[in-house]
Chains A and B, each alone.
Chain A
Amino acid sequence: MFKKVLVANRGEIAVRIIRACRELGLETVAVFSEADRNALHVRYADEAYLLGAAPSRESYLRADKILDVARRSGADAIHPGYGFLAEREDFASKCADLGITFIGPKPSAIAAMGDKAEARATVIKAGVPVVPGTEDVGNMTNDDLLRIAPTIGFPLLIKATAGGGGKGMREVRSLEEMPALLASARREAESAFGDGNVYLEKLIEGARHIEFQIMADEHGNVIHLGERECSIQRRHQKLVEEAPSPFLDDELRKKMGDVAVKAAQAVNYVNAGTIECLVDKDRNFYFLEMNTRLQVEHPVTELVTGIDIVAEQLRIARGRQLSYTQEQVQFKGHAIECRVNAEDPFNNFIPSTGRITHSIIPTGPGVRVDTGVYPGFEITPYYDPMIAKLIVWGETRAQAILRMRRALEEYRIVGVRTNIPFHQTLMDSHRFMAGQFDTRFVEERFSMETASELDEAQAEIAAILATLVAHKETERSAQIVRGNERDTSNWKWVGRWERMHR
């Protein structure tokens, strides 16, 4: 049984894992890049070791350096979090070779599910429905794919075999545009995963993205912790997740849960995993892929089940039985998560970097914030733009939405632009409130421009605010110019003065 856990990740998820270890009395080892010396995970862990320069491939993706830190620190287990090395079969195998417990599934399960084409073949055999697409496993050339595409039918999706997070994914509407999209999908997959292989899948229109949380121990027990609705996405990046899905009833939930368990059993799955499904308008569901790791959005499941998923992962990795049977898993209320990203929603969601100078985190009843940043922390372009997850719980979905609105209004982050206004607009949208959305909702039927006319009362307040700030600035510069003893020439002062008024 391991006693010291190395957390091979950064940001909020590293903090989340360290917290679970602390609560269970396990020692923790953090690793960090040069950009993350002052990050929260480094400060919270019992030990911390530098990996290398800021870019991921010189730090958090360096399996050799991470394993060396494990040896030096005497860590006997590694939690990979999500992203980076979490779904790398070779890394999990190396851990096993060195006698280090990999907190996650067996390398064989990562391999079987990690290769998306092989995963499809495996679950088809277990009787799980999949989205129609290329069935051949392995490296298909562009010529092969172009030949097969018309038999699947357009629109279709090009997806990275090693994929995840929407990287290397392209939507194709016609054969003519396919060669260029294949090239850009392969290029993105190559840079993100070091593997440019792609496959094709029919695009299900009007689909919802609904996933099931799976927990499995080494004793053959496999349960699910219900579903998460993840249809609110932009460029295949999830932005909001909730549990339960407003689209499922108990019957469909049971049916999909049973299938999810079956898919996990097909690869002898152990530890926490997620079965992602597409559900069409007619409630047909299709297996999409299995994520063989902890998910970003795991907290919504934790809030409605009361189960600490990370603590359960640690238990399972120590060879213990699951703490719950399927019958003991009860759902209570409704949870919503908003991913707070350093992106400007008023400027086409362009990433925003800079130092966080000020931050007020919402608290109060039913509110949880998982974050790895704090005032003084620098948001760099090296890692993904998520800076926090704001999660709320309510007795009903309506209460959860009201609570989320309240918490979003309280949240203040200064120094970078965030997508909080996007979430506020979404929480006010009638379609979201009514649960009427699919995976295309944000891109096709949502706008930051509120449909209603300019709210004059609010506009007047905005006008007053801007005027008062402008007035303050004018006053301040006027005082400086009037000052007697200047440290620079009057011409320079005039130049600065004029610049203030441009």
Chain B
Amino acid sequence: MKYVTTIEGKQFEIEVVDDRHIRVGGRLLEVNFETVSGQPVYSLILDGKSYESYVYSGDEDWQVLLRGRQFQVKVEDEREKRLKAAAGGGVAEGGELHLKAPMPGLVVAIPVNEGDEVKKGQVLVILESMKMQNELKSPRDGTISHIKVKAGESVEQKQVLLNLH
């Protein structure tokens, strides 16, 4: 299977030939690839050179943590890439924005009310987590359409706190 893999705009053409071989930009390399006890830590021996890395799957891409450096990696198989090119890119920006909790914690205060006009950078929610108070700011100008949590409430990560129109 052939893949086109992109890091910071740079493309790598990688073909998985079989269990033991890959082809990178025309070079055939011997590969020995294992997960370390089934974790997102992977051990790779590539033509005798040994690497170890964390590979996490993100929403749309992969995050590879290698020697203290994190890479955002997009992996597409050739067919997928062709389909996408045919469909044409670009997603329209939605009018409504959901402010989500970036971490689990306790809502300390919500210094805005429903219907308030807010400016970009204005504090919308104060969330306490791991003994620190974090101010969640508005990513853009808008109107608070709906507040879904109350002060004193515990929230989970990615829970929607309020809607901004």
Contacts A383-B131, A421-B70 known; A462 to B54 CB distance under 8 Å?
no
On whether the beta carbons of A460 and B12 are closer than 8 Å, the reply is yes
B113: interface (CB < 8 Å): no
B160: interface (CB < 8 Å): no
Dominant SS at the B interface? strand
Which of A381, A424, A473 gathers the greatest number of chain B CB atoms within 10 Å? A381
CA A469 to CA B74, docked complex, whole Å: 12
On whether the beta carbons of A454 and B14 are closer than 8 Å, the reply is no
CA A454 to CA B9, docked complex, whole Å: 11
CA A421 to CA B10, docked complex, whole Å: 23
On whether the beta carbons of A465 and B42 are closer than 8 Å, the reply is yes
On whether the beta carbons of B67 and A381 are closer than 8 Å, the reply is no
* Residue in A353, A448, A463, A468 whose CB lies within 8 Å of B7: A463
Shortest distance from the beta carbon of B55 to any chain A beta carbon, whole Å? 5
Chain B: residues with Cβ within 8 Å of the partner, total of 56
Interface string of A352-367 (1 = CB under 8 A from B): 1100011000000000
Shortest distance from the beta carbon of A422 to any chain B beta carbon, whole Å? 9
Shortest distance from the beta carbon of B25 to any chain A beta carbon, whole Å? 9
Shortest distance from the beta carbon of A192 to any chain B beta carbon, whole Å? 7
On whether the beta carbons of B69 and A450 are closer than 8 Å, the reply is yes
Smallest Cβ-Cβ distance to B33: which chain A residue? A468
CA A502 to CA B60, docked complex, whole Å: 7
On whether the beta carbons of A235 and B132 are closer than 8 Å, the reply is yes
Shortest distance from the beta carbon of A293 to any chain B beta carbon, whole Å? 17
8 further A-B contacts with Cβ under 8 Å, apart from A458-B69, A461-B53, are A191-B133, A414-B41, A448-B70, A463-B7, A464-B12, A467-B12, A468-B33, A501-B80
CA A464 to CA B46, docked complex, whole Å: 10
Contacts A351-B130, A384-B131, A458-B67 known; A469 to B42 CB distance under 8 Å?
yes
On whether the beta carbons of A465 and B104 are closer than 8 Å, the reply is no
Shortest distance from the beta carbon of A449 to any chain B beta carbon, whole Å? 10
On whether the beta carbons of A462 and B22 are closer than 8 Å, the reply is no
B75: interface (CB < 8 Å): yes
Interface string of B9-46 (1 = CB under 8 A from A): 01010101000001010000001010011011110101
List 4 A-B pairs, minimum CB-CB distance, nearest first.
A424-B68, A466-B73, A462-B71, A466-B62
Smallest Cβ-Cβ distance to A192: which chain B residue? B131
* Residue in B57, B105, B126 whose CB lies within 8 Å of A381: B105
Q: List 12 contacting pairs A-B, 8 Å CB cutoff, sorted by A.
A: A191-B133, A192-B131, A353-B103, A353-B104, A381-B129, A424-B68, A450-B69, A455-B69, A460-B12, A464-B12, A465-B44, A466-B71
A412: interface (CB < 8 Å): yes
8 A Cβ contacts from A91-120 to B = none
Chain B residues packing against A (C-beta within 8 Å): 1, 3, 5, 7-8, 10, 12, 14, 16, 22, 24, 31, 33, 36-37, 39-42, 44, 46, 51, 53-55, 57, 60, 62-71, 73, 75, 77, 80, 102-105, 108-109, 126, 128-133, 135, 157
Task: Report A-chain residues with C-beta under 8 Å of the C-beta of B5.
Answer: 463-464, 466-467
Contacts A461-B66, A463-B14 known; A385 to B130 CB distance under 8 Å?
yes
Which of B31, B73, B157 gathers the greatest number of chain A CB atoms within 10 Å? B73
On whether the beta carbons of B157 and A471 are closer than 8 Å, the reply is no
On whether the beta carbons of A464 and B39 are closer than 8 Å, the reply is no
Counting chain A residues whose Cβ lies within 8 A of the other chain, the interface size class is 35 or more
Task: Report A-chain residues with C-beta under 8 Å of the C-beta of B31.
Answer: 464, 468
8 A Cβ contacts from A339-353 to B = 342, 346-347, 350-353
CA A455 to CA B128, docked complex, whole Å: 38
Task: Report A-chain residues with C-beta under 8 Å of the C-beta of B128.
Answer: 191
Smallest Cβ-Cβ distance to B25: which chain A residue? A460
On whether the beta carbons of A462 and B131 are closer than 8 Å, the reply is no
* Residue in B39, B62, B65, B71 whose CB lies within 8 Å of A470: B62
* Residue in A192, A351, A420, A458 whose CB lies within 8 Å of B129: A351
Shortest distance from the beta carbon of A427 to any chain B beta carbon, whole Å? 8
Shortest distance from the beta carbon of A296 to any chain B beta carbon, whole Å? 13
Smallest Cβ-Cβ distance to B37: which chain A residue? A358
On whether the beta carbons of A425 and B54 are closer than 8 Å, the reply is no
Shortest distance from the beta carbon of B114 to any chain A beta carbon, whole Å? 22
Task: Report A-chain residues with C-beta under 8 Å of the C-beta of B62.
Answer: 466, 469-470
On whether the beta carbons of B104 and A456 are closer than 8 Å, the reply is no
CA A132 to CA B132, docked complex, whole Å: 27
Task: Report B-chain residues with C-beta under 8 Å of the C-beta of A218.
Answer: none
A302: interface (CB < 8 Å): no
Smallest Cβ-Cβ distance to A358: which chain B residue? B39
CA A464 to CA B75, docked complex, whole Å: 10
On whether the beta carbons of B8 and A346 are closer than 8 Å, the reply is no
Task: Report B-chain residues with C-beta under 8 Å of the C-beta of A235.
Answer: 132
Which of B68, B128, B133 gathers the greatest number of chain A CB atoms within 10 Å? B68
8 A Cβ contacts from A162-216 to B = 165, 167, 184, 187-188, 191-192
Contacts A188-B133, A466-B5, A467-B3 known; A459 to B70 CB distance under 8 Å?
no
Shortest distance from the beta carbon of A380 to any chain B beta carbon, whole Å? 8
A477: interface (CB < 8 Å): no
Smallest Cβ-Cβ distance to B73: which chain A residue? A466
Shortest distance from the beta carbon of A238 to any chain B beta carbon, whole Å? 14
Shortest distance from the beta carbon of B16 to any chain A beta carbon, whole Å? 5
On whether the beta carbons of B69 and A421 are closer than 8 Å, the reply is yes
Shortest distance from the beta carbon of B159 to any chain A beta carbon, whole Å? 13
CA A61 to CA B22, docked complex, whole Å: 57
A323: interface (CB < 8 Å): no
Task: Report A-chain residues with C-beta under 8 Å of the C-beta of B77.
Answer: 474
* Residue in A385, A454, A465 whose CB lies within 8 Å of B10: A454
CA A350 to CA B8, docked complex, whole Å: 23
